[in-house]
């Protein structure tokens, strides 16, 4: 069996997240249908992670297996013809037979966008805030995330993960234009709802409703009920998934 990685992007607006759902269409389901149609064989696709309903990805990675050696450029082209306009494939590449899109990922990066402007063309991709936020204080709070590893306080309750331990290596707000700020966070793994819960709690810091010490306490109490409301999913993007070079095979 040959194994392949698919690098893709999608606008999550019309989907019930990445993961196949019994009650709505998912990105994973669309990708599997397109692959199965093209290869005339039932194909299973495994993603690097799950994104929630309405969340976008400018870069997601998934893997699939097929018994024959495929022309990866041709697969990329055919998938883009078969997939709906809001899902696109950048490239398909061969990887080692034991490579895994989820378990071999060494880091993932998300970006979350907030804006004070009312701009019709961005409403699906930005979280509108109605008051000025103290981004300096928000960055001071964000830096404390790097000192902790247990993020139970920012995890969706009753998930099937065995551990809430994550190693965050970057967490920072930067200004993109007069009205827009972006929060970039990178870690080895993320819990369900984690980024949105962190952003929602940092917004409380920015509004002056939560102190830096209070933010630390939220983390230390390991209780989702103590953190802020999750920020809306439409402003969240998965932007990168990193892998060791050793899992890739030459496509020659």
Binding site, annotated residues: 110
The catalytic position among 52, 177, 178, 223 is 52
CB 6 within 8 A of CB 72: no
> Which DSSP helix (H) or strand (E) runs through 35?
helix 27-39
Q: Which residues contact 143 (CB under 8 A, 6 or more apart)?
A: 171
CB 45 within 8 A of CB 31: yes
The single-letter DSSP state of residue 165 is: B
The CB density around residue 150, as the number of other CB atoms within 10 Å, is 14
Q: Phi and psi (nearest 5°) for 139?
A: -70, -35
Residue 52 bears catalytic tag = yes
> Which DSSP helix (H) or strand (E) runs through 75?
helix 72-82
CB 126 within 8 A of CB 200: no
What residues are designated binding site for substrate? 110
Q: Which residues are catalytic?
A: 52
């Amino acid at each position: 069996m040959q194994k392949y990685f698919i690098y893709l992007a999608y606008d999550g607006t019309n989907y019930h997240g990445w993961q196949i759902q019994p009650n709505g269409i998912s990105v994973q389901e669309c990708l599997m249908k397109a692959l199965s149609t093209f290869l005339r064989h039932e194909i299973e696709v495994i993603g690097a992670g799950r994104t929630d309903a309405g969340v976008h990805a400018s870069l997601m990675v998934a893997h699939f297996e097929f018994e024959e050696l495929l022309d990866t450029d041709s697969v990329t082209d055919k998938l883009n013809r078969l997939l709906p306009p809001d899902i696109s494939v950048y490239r398909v590449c061969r990887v080692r037979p034991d490579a895994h899109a989820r378990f071999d990922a060494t880091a993932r990066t998300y970006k979350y966008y907030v804006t004070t402007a009312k701009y019709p063309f961005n409403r699906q991709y930005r979280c509108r805030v109605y008051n000025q936020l103290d981004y300096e204080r928000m960055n001071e709070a964000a830096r404390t995330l790097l000192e902790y590893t247990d993020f139970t306080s920012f995890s969706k309750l009753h998930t099937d993960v065995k551990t809430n331990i994550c190693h965050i290596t970057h967490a920072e707000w930067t200004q993109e234009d007069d009205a827009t700020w972006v929060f970039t966070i990178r870690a080895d793994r993320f819990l369900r709802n984690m980024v949105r819960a962190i952003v929602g709690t940092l917004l409380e810091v920015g509004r002056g409703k939560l102190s830096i010490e209070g933010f630390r306490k939220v983390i230390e109490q390991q209780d989702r009920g103590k953190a802020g409301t999750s920020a809306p999913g439409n402003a969240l993007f998965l932007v990168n998934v990193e892998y060791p070079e050793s899992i890739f095979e030459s496509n020659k």
